[in-house]
Chains A and B, each alone.
Chain A
Amino acid sequence: MRRHRKPCQICEMGSRVIDYKDERLLSRFLTERGKIIPARLSGMCARHQRQLSRAIKRARQIALLPFIRGYSR
């Protein structure tokens, strides 16, 4: 049987835009290794998953988020 879909967390916060500088929010959608959690697991809607992945990739560029967490050093 099909389970009902988990509501999108960003939609529930009542906002449409995700800020790439807010690394505390973004880090909730990363695995412990720093991968982006897929929408099928996080329950994000398509619009916000797109925004989220872009925001996370930007945050990685400016060293707010790691590309790989816990790598070597």
Chain B
Amino acid sequence: MTREYELVYIFDSTLEEEAINERLERFHEILKCPESSEPISGINHWGKRTLAYEVDGRDVGYYVVVQFETRPDLLGELERALKLDDAVLRYLVVLNEGLAPVTAAVAEESEPASAESTAGSAAESPIDGEAESTTDGPAEPAATEEVEE
């Protein structure tokens, strides 16, 4: 029995593209099993991105997102290989729940309503303050709703 998964790698951004591809091939070799000889259904190189926080003293990572289908018992072996490789800063394996209809494009469309991301976070700050300071719930959220509308 095979299941569909999604895997996000964060590689060391100082690596060459070839070195990353070579590692991807090596990792994906592990996933091959009789039920799915071609386990990989999609590879998406996001490229270098700034990390939201420091990982192993690095601010930038090379992201690769892979969709694959394999037997669950092979994942342990894959994770072992990922943990041993110092070039992989982080990884995340999750069950693939199908393509999400909420895409960045949709988010962009509705973005102007809540203004720019910086302005948005500034507008959110009063909400944060109330969440921490108030003890009576229902009255205060109503007030914030009015402010937003």
Contacts and interface: CB of A to CB of B under 8 A. Distances in A.
Nearest to B55: A63
A18 B142 contact: no
Interface in B103-122: 103-104, 106-108, 110-111, 114, 117, 120-122
B42 interface: no
A63 B97 contact: no
Interface residues of A, number: 41
A17 B92 contact: no
Contacts, number: 101
B128 interface: yes
For chain B, which range describes its interface: under 10, 10 to 19, 20 to 34, or 35 or more residues? 35 or more
A40 B134 CA distance: 13
Contacts of A71: 53
A40 B104 contact: no
A19 B52 contact: no
Contact of B102 (A3, A6, A15): A15
Interface in B56-109: 61, 63, 65, 90, 92, 94, 97-98, 100-104, 106-108
Interface of B: 8, 10, 51-55, 61, 63, 65, 90, 92, 94, 97-98, 100-104, 106-108, 110-111, 114, 117, 120-122, 124-125, 127-128, 130-131, 137-138, 141-142, 144-145
